[in-house]
Amino acid sequence: MLKKTVILPASKSESNRALMIAAYGGFPPDVANLSDSQDTKVLREALMFCHERKTIDIADCGTAARFMTTYLACHDGDWLLTGTDRMKQRPIKPLVDVLRKLGSSIEYVENEGFLPLQIHGKSITGGKASLDVSQSSQFASSLLLAAPMWRDGLELELIGNFNSVPYLDMTIAMMCHFSAQVERKGSVVTVKPKPYRPNSFTVEADWSAASYWYELAALSEACEISLMGLCSPSTVRRAPSPASLQGDAIIADWMQAFGVMTTEMDSALVLTKKSFTNTTLSFDFSNTPDLFPTIVATCAGLQRHARFTGIANLMFKESDREGAMQAEVAKIGTKLNKVSDNEAVIIPSVSLPYFEKKRPLHFLSHDDHRVVMALAPLAMKIGDLLFDHPEVVRKSYPSFWEQMDFLGF
């Protein structure tokens, strides 16, 4: 029986938004349980030293790229915003287009639509704008976070495929916590020109990190895994427990199809395993793209057929996640077939291979922390594994390997 109590890492999504709000508000961040992830460290350093440096390197942090683009654009100064080679392939054009229409001066240094950016920062008054959020909701969050400080606020119309809505709603909820006046009615978000005010904030544990423990529970024969620090998902919440701001909390609901039950007990969510019916499953990742690798690996390990939709934006993540997972699960005989740009099916292996310590299975990381963390629990089913770059987990979950030591890594 797998029995474990887990102190989960703090949410980097909440941490990064709290840091931006404090920076725009001009007050020290009063944030408990701030994430120790590499992404949050990169953003925090960028904010701390941007007025002393002419070049801001955000490495491979997509959130920092989007959030700092707006931050620098509306503060006096001149900066070069750059990152890794992969970061220079991830889109930024929809955000830059809107900032230019609002009066910003931003130039592409290498390739149109991508970092590096030469940003000539100056005051922005705000107003009305429309933004294509088909590729990322972070473009919208970036603008909204800045808007309370603009003279005219912002009325932002969201156009295109409306993906990752929970992340946008998280941004709005956190802005309101710090006294901003923000309202979303369908695809239109209105931000009044009311500055932030200091307020204490406690960052919740990370539901994306929790998903790998749900996967372990699903792959186990029996378990009792206690996850600490999470706000409850709506499916198990008991009043007056606070509901999670994180869309990835839906993993608690999804994992019931794999026999994983979630119970709220004192300060923990406890995962247990029961039998399940082996039917073909269906998952839509439009709002929760970070869960895609977890669900793919779980299906592969439990030999479950499934249909996946809402995957069009996976190519814009740290890796092309659909392609990365397709390549890696193929090593255990599982087929991940793309039906269209937005749909795939998984056809699991009839029998899983098993790998001994002297001849472990080598997985590639694709420089993607979520690909690595989703594949690691498969050790419960297929034996010894190795990764070419296991250190990539530091991006969001620095203690991952230490907590997973029982798997033999």
Q: Which residues, in sequence order, are CB contacts of 67 under 8 Å at separation 6+?
A: 16, 20, 43, 138, 141, 142, 145
For 275-334, how does the pLDDT look when each residue is reduced to its tens digit (9 = 90+)? 988 888 999 999 999 999 999 999 999 999 999 999 999 999 999 999 999 999 999 999
In this structure, are 289 and 195 located in the same domain?
Answer: no
Q: Which two tokens stand for residue 379?
A: 């050790």
What is the C-alpha separation between 4 and 341, in angstroms, rounded?
39
Q: Is residue 107, in this structure, part of any structural domain at all?
A: yes
- List, for residues 54-103, the tens digit of each pLDDT value: 999 999 999 999 999 999 999 999 999 999 999 999 999 999 999 999 99
169 and 114 both lie in a single domain: yes
pTM: 0.95
In Å, what is the CA distance from 177 to each residue of 12, 122, 154, 325?
17, 27, 18, 38
The enclosing domain of 229 has a CATH number of 3.65.10.10
Q: Give 188's strand partners.
A: 157, 185
The pLDDT score that the predictor gives to residue 239 is 46
Short-list 171, 21, 119, 69, CA closest to 156: 171
Count how many Cα atoms sit within 13 Å of the Cα of residue 31 in the half-sphere of its side chain: 27
Spot the catalytic one: 39, 248, 290, 367: 290
Q: Is residue 193 part of a domain?
A: yes
The answer to whether residue 290 is catalytic is yes
The pLDDT confidence band at residue 128, using thresholds 50, 70 and 90, is very high
81 and 142 assigned to the same domain: yes
Which pLDDT score, from 0 to 100, does residue 56 have?
98
Q: Are 298 and 169 part of one and the same domain?
A: no
What single letter denotes the amino acid at residue 384?
D
Write the pLDDT tens digit of every residue in 186-244. Answer: 999 999 999 999 999 999 999 999 999 999 999 999 999 999 999 878 666 554 457 89
Which residue, 182, 202, 222, sits at the end of a domain?
A: 202
Same domain, 151 and 231: no
In a domain, 6, yes or no: no
> Is 2 part of any domain?
no
Q: Say whether both 172 and 235 belong to one domain.
A: no
178 backbone dihedrals φ, ψ, rounded to 5°: -100, 30
Q: Are residues 178 and 230 in the same domain?
A: no
Domain count, the chain: 2
**Pair 46, 144 in one domain:** yes
Q: Once rounded to an integer, what is the mean pLDDT over residues 346-369?
A: 96
Which pLDDT tens digit goes with each residue over 371-380? 999 999 999 9
Last residue of a domain, one of 202, 235, 264: 202
Burial class (CB in 10 A: 0-12, 13-18, 19+), 154: buried
pLDDT of residue 162: 82
- Position 78 in a domain: yes
In terms of residue numbers, what domain contains 216?
207-407
**Whether residue 273 sits in one domain with residue 372:** yes
Element (H, E) at 42: helix 38-49
Q: In the prediction, which pLDDT does 234 show?
A: 65
Q: Which of 202, 227, 258 is the last residue of a domain?
A: 202
The residue type of 265 is: M
Q: Give the count of beta carbons closer than 10 Å to the beta carbon of residue 59.
A: 17
For residues 238 and 287, state if they share a domain: yes
Each residue's pLDDT tens digit, 39-56 = 999 999 999 999 999 999
pLDDT the model gives residue 161? 87
* AA identity, residue 229: G
Query: Is 164 in the same domain as 245?
Result: no
What average pLDDT is seen over the chain? 95
Does residue 291 form part of some domain? Answer: yes
Whether residues 374 and 244 fall in one domain: yes
The predicted pLDDT at position 278 comes to 86
Whether 57 maps to a domain, the answer reads yes
The long-range contacts involving 369-372, CB below 8 angstroms and separated by at least 24 positions, are: 369/318, 369/393, 369/394, 369/395, 369/396, 369/397, 370/208, 370/290, 370/293, 370/294, 370/317, 370/318, 370/321, 370/396, 371/293, 371/318, 371/319, 371/321, 371/324, 371/325, 371/328
Q: Are 207 and 36 in contact (CB under 8 A)?
A: no
Structural domain contains residue 1: no
